[in-house]
Amino acid sequence: MDNNNLEQITFGGGCFWCVESCFNMLKGVHSAISGYSGGHKDNPTYEEVCTGETGHAEVVQITFDPTIISYAQLMDVFFFLHDPTQLNRQGNDIGTQYRSVIYYKDDAEKVKAEEALKTSEASGKWPGTYVTEVSQFEKFWPAEQYHQGYYNVNPNQPYCSAVVGPKIQKFKKHFGELGMLNEA
């Protein structure tokens, strides 16, 4: 992968453990890092973000090579991995930190994000009205080290085995059939 061509995108789709794990399996993704964005507190901790008082969302910042995987393909994965019709929650994870959000860095990226959102909503994959925010990117704070690759290290942790694991299997089946996954 040519590091000179790399771009970044940051978005939140619920708990970052699942989202990060899936994006790290995709061809063309250099890295997917769990972290926090969209809030008012510098260097927030996981415990602080979980209170909902920092304004941050759990997000994943993805560094990718657009010559291998496109922005539109990343958006397809994003909308596959979470329910964008649930306001401030994903399943039993409830709070503003679990909101559906796409952070854009410039006007061109904002337009691409809005187009991807409209395309996904029009597809009917998720019945209902999308509540995904499209917001100006300001700052990304990496989550604590123990959150990085969390599912890979803790697949038998109860939340991981009950929620994250089944979602990852569904993801692998779908995107594996499309030939979008790295060789394991």
Strand partners, 94: 89
Q: For residue 76, how many C-alpha atoms fall within 13 Å in the half-sphere facing its CB? A: 12
Residues 104-119 as b/e (b if ≥16 CB within 10 A, e otherwise) read beeeebbebbeebbee
In the residue annotation, 15 being an active-site residue is answered as yes
pLDDT in tens, 35-53: 999 999 999 999 999 999 9
List Cβ neighbours of 10 (8 Å cut-off, separation of 6 or more): 37, 59, 60, 61, 62, 103, 137, 140
pLDDT in tens, 78-134: 999 999 999 999 988 999 999 999 999 999 999 999 999 999 999 999 999 999 999
Strand partners, 137: none
Q: Which domains does the chain have, with CATH numbers?
A: 7-178 (3.30.1060.10)
Phi, psi of 23 (to 5 degrees): -65, -30
The pLDDT of residue 184: 66
Q: Find the catalytic residue in 15, 18, 22, 160.
A: 15
Nearest to 59 by CA among 32, 94, 90, 86: 32
The answer to whether the predicted template modeling score (pTM) of the entire model surpasses 0.85 is yes
